[in-house]
Chains A and B, each alone.
Chain A
Amino acid sequence: MITRGFLRRSTDSGQLIRLPPGQHVVADFPVLSAGPTPRIKTGDWSFALKDGVRPVKSWSWAEFNALPQTKMTRDIHCVTTWSKFDTAWEGVLVDDILADAGIEPPTGFTLAHSYDGYTTNVPTADLVVGKAMVATRYEGKPIPPDHGGPARLLVPHLYFWKSAKWINGLQFTKKDELGFWELRGYHRYGDPWREQRYTND
């Protein structure tokens, strides 16, 4: 339905090609989270890899930062319709986390866990072969707490709620177990190019 009196704001065509359907470009970096911002000291931080309930390996902040560091500059897309171009992150590829733990992905499904109890489910295939990282730096600086620091997951090709803030672990699961927002009406996969925002989209 066309809305009476509504017109497109001028956007350059280069932007349009990069924008998934229903998204608009922002210059700033909005914050959306379900609770207060946890303040986690890097001295207390740790990151755990689990296969089901079995712990595989865990890293302290120093150990984690000694893993191979990778830079990734990507466009990010929030389900609330803003997109931000060319966000520059640095951290450890999920591939490098698995390599350091000496394992191949044991299952096709992964649940990311965060310090505040938040979870989100991502198919394992979307985390490997250079697609995703656990980011520790944004635009050359430590990630601010309200943007997920000390570390957040970065899965830039999915809606940004999948890029769990305050991450403290990845857990392989036998089946696709829904995470926090996925249990509360949001899409199980969340591909911005197919506009998979809500459960039945």
Chain B
Amino acid sequence: MNWQNAIITRIETQSLRVKSFFFRLPEPFLFRPGQHVLLRLTAPDGYRAQRSYSIASAPNAGEELELAIERFDDGEVSPFMHDIAQVDDEIEIGGPVGGHFNWTPEDGGPVLFIGGGSGVAPFMSMLRHRAAIVSRVPVVLVFSARLREDLLFFDELSKLAASGDGFSLMVALTREAGAHPFRAGRIDAEFIAGIVGAMRMRVRQVMICGSHPFVEAAAEGTITAGIDPAIIKTERYGATGLQAEVRDLPA
């Protein structure tokens, strides 16, 4: 693994639980949208903690790398980044890694992206790259979050969707009460079938990213909506127990 000491140049609050961290890399690298990097923290006694984070910035976006990190209160690395890491701190970054969950407009479309919460990060890299090279490959992003305030990157995504270049955004909020312009509730087979039906051309690729229960539910919905499982790629951010999963999985 190629490790380097990256410097935090900026920290931006994205949503209730997510902050974006911008890093300057001494040796910027080439990467494909969808790849991730490793953050490695080292304690004075040599103890290390390492976690994976999807790159949210586009390739060729300059020397800065953006990572969108969600805070898990009982976690180790994400609370450190949220509470202790500051601008000008050095953090070790390794990578880029991941040769599967990648997409660029050259791979073709139409594509359907389904992101849950911070799982939207790799799609930001893909969509920013798509916009940067002025591609019109049709893309639909289904973005699911709990509350309106959990929608990271929402302004930027709305702008991209308003540009009329073949990108559209569908938002589902699972816990937002009251009136809002989005779908209320979880994404299910019917919802996906409606989107796929409206896509005129046959979907070439479906990519799903988020927590494991989210990815399971979205993949089940997509398959039930008639999509060939062979064209679905998934990236699972983590964390569910056998016990938890029995509770969380849809029947």
Contacts and interface: CB of A to CB of B under 8 A. Distances in A.
Interface residues of A, number: 43
Candidate in A4, A29, A35, A36 with the most chain B CB atoms within 10 angstroms: A36
A178 B88 CA distance: 41
B177 interface: no
Interface in A174-199: 180-181, 183-185, 197-198
Nearest to B50: A81
Given A28-B244, A31-B245, 19 more contacts: A1-B92, A3-B91, A4-B90, A22-B48, A28-B241, A29-B241, A29-B242, A30-B236, A30-B238, A35-B232, A36-B229, A36-B234, A37-B216, A37-B219, A38-B229, A116-B229, A185-B97, A185-B98, A201-B1
B78 interface: no
A117 B220 CA distance: 18
Contacts, number: 114
A6 B233 contact: no
Nearest to A143: B242
Contacts of A185: 97-99
Contact of B44 (A2, A139, A180): A2
Given A31-B212, A34-B100, A36-B229, A147 B242 contact: yes
Contacts of A184: 98-100
Interface in B85-108: 85, 89-92, 97-101
A33 B241 contact: no
Candidate in B51, B100, B249 with the most chain A CB atoms within 10 angstroms: B100
B149 interface: no
Contacts of A36: 208, 219-220, 222-223, 229, 232, 234
Candidate in A2, A180, A181, A200 with the most chain B CB atoms within 10 angstroms: A2
Contacts of B229: 35-36, 38, 116
B47 A8 contact: yes
A27 B244 CA distance: 11
A5 B80 contact: yes
A81 B51 contact: yes
A80 interface: yes
Contacts of B85: 5
A184 B234 CA distance: 15
A182 to B, nearest CB: 10
A54 interface: no
Interface of B: 1, 5, 41-45, 47-52, 76, 80, 84-85, 89-92, 97-101, 208, 212, 216, 219-220, 222-223, 229-230, 232-234, 236, 238-246, 249
Interface of A: 1-9, 21-22, 24, 26-38, 80-81, 116-117, 138-139, 144, 146-147, 180-181, 183-185, 197-198, 200-201
A117 B99 CA distance: 16
Contact of A197 (B1, B89, B208, B246): B1
A3 B42 contact: yes
A32 B234 CA distance: 9
A2 B101 CA distance: 31
A25 B84 CA distance: 23
Given A31-B240, A81-B50, A200-B1, A6 B84 contact: yes
Contacts of A5: 80, 84-85, 89
